[in-house]
Amino acid sequence: MKMTPMAPKCGVEISGIQLATCSDEEMEAVKQAIYEHGVAVFRDQEFSPEDHIRFGKRWGGIDINNYFPLQQDFQEIAVVKKEADQKTNIGGDWHTDHSYDQIPAMGSVLVARELPPSGGDTMWAHMGAAYDALSDEVKAEIEGLEAFHTADHIYKADGLYAQTDMGRELRGHDLKTGAVHPVVIRHPHTGRKLLYVNKAFTINFVGKTREESMPLLEKLFAAALTDDNQCRLEWKPGTVAIWDNRTTWHNAVNDYQGHRREMHRITLSGEALAA
Ligand code: OGA
Ligand code: MN
């Protein structure tokens, strides 16, 4: 197994391993690498839907996404797809998955099933590097703060997606979500401090209104993307990416209009977060 960083502070490409048949020792090394680098990319994988599910269970359990269509024959698999005639994609702005759950998903295992002829890359940004780069003043300002997260404004019947041509694909319009997390968490396995707010789901600081929270939230959202804390993946057939939702934000680049893209996602169960 060989590990090559994708960028100075985010992402690692791991070669010389088949995820479907890897040893327990390799699995442990992969987990550690993902906790540290935020995302790992694996090329040329033989990874059937059955392998995908087996891998998720072996990692430590699968969370079913409430909103995305599920693969018909394999209900643990969420289908992240955009048809050639759709304009809006899933995940087309910076976010982290499932932060609206009180025990948020650890991460995701995303497999390329159908790719556009070009484009459709995914980007990640490392929230440990983002935290490190904050000024001492901002670090002091956010020390001990908690924030409220929800997905309702995005997925409800008249929410953000419903106003786009992606609306018809999604489920869960009536769900109510909400969770409170520290603004700075410690990674459950590495102990590293991570900035844990995101543009998609973080609404306000506890004890402050949305309006009162916005100036500092906007400042943190802007600070979370630094010059050197991102990496970018160009998918190929057989590529699998596994990311850590605590350690990273991600963004699905929507630059392939007129072409179909289909990815399969298994969401890995996580643990409660603490400052
Ligand atoms: C996701 C997501 C990114 C992509 O599955 O959560 O944001 O590139 N997907 O499809
Ligand atoms: Mn996502």
Of 95, 55, 91, nearest to 76 (Cα)?
55
Catalytic residue flag (residue 149): no
**CB of 108 shorter than 6 A to ligand 1:** yes
**Whole-structure pTM over 0.95, yes or no?**
yes
Of 198, 172, 205, nearest to 250 (Cα)?
198
Catalytic residue flag (residue 168): no
SS in 3 state form for 161-230?
A: HHHCCCHHHCCCCCCCCCEEEECEEECCCCCCEEECCCCCCEEEECCCCHHHHHHHHHHHHHHHCCCCCE
Distance 147 CA to ligand 1 centre (A): 24
Ligand nearest to the CA of 122: 1
Ligand 1 atom closest to residue 110's alpha carbon, by position in its atom list = 5
d(CA 253, CA 94): 10
Cβ atoms 94, 198 nearer than 8 A: yes
Q: At what angle do helices 24-37 and 49-59 cross, to 10 degrees?
A: 80
d(CA 106, CA 247): 9
Ligand 1 atom closest to residue 253's alpha carbon, by position in its atom list = 8
Q: Tell me, which fold does domain 2-268 have in CATH?
A: Double-stranded beta-helix (3.60.130)
Domain positions in the chain are 2-268
CB atoms within 10 A of CB 28: 11
Kindly compute the dihedral angle of the four CA atoms of residues 232, 237, 238, 241, in this order, to the nearest 10 degrees. 20
d(CA 140, CA 44): 45
Q: What is the mean pLDDT, run by run of 10 residues, along the chain of 275 residues?
A: 98 98 98 98 98 98 94 96 97 96 98 98 98 98 98 93 90 94 98 98 98 98 97 98 98 98 98 96
d(CA 125, CA 194): 11
Report residue 174 CA to chain centroid gap.
Answer: 23
Distance 82 CA to ligand 1 centre (A): 11
Identify the pLDDT of residue 169.
87
**Distant-in-sequence, close-in-space partners of 273: CB < 8 Å, separation ≥ 6:** 104, 181, 182, 185, 188, 196, 246
Report the nearest-CA residue for atom 8 of ligand 1: 252
Catalytic residue flag (residue 265): yes
**CB of 252 shorter than 6 A to ligand 1:** yes
Cβ atoms 275, 147 nearer than 8 A: no
Report the nearest-CA residue for atom 7 of ligand 1: 91
**CB of 250 shorter than 6 A to ligand 1:** yes
Ligand nearest to the CA of 99: 2
**CB of 80 shorter than 6 A to ligand 1:** yes
Q: Which one of the listed residues 97, 181, 192, 246 is annotated catalytic? A: 97
Report the nearest-CA residue for atom 1 of ligand 1: 91
Catalytic residue flag (residue 259): no
Please report, for the chain, how many H helices and E strands are present, in that order: 6, 17
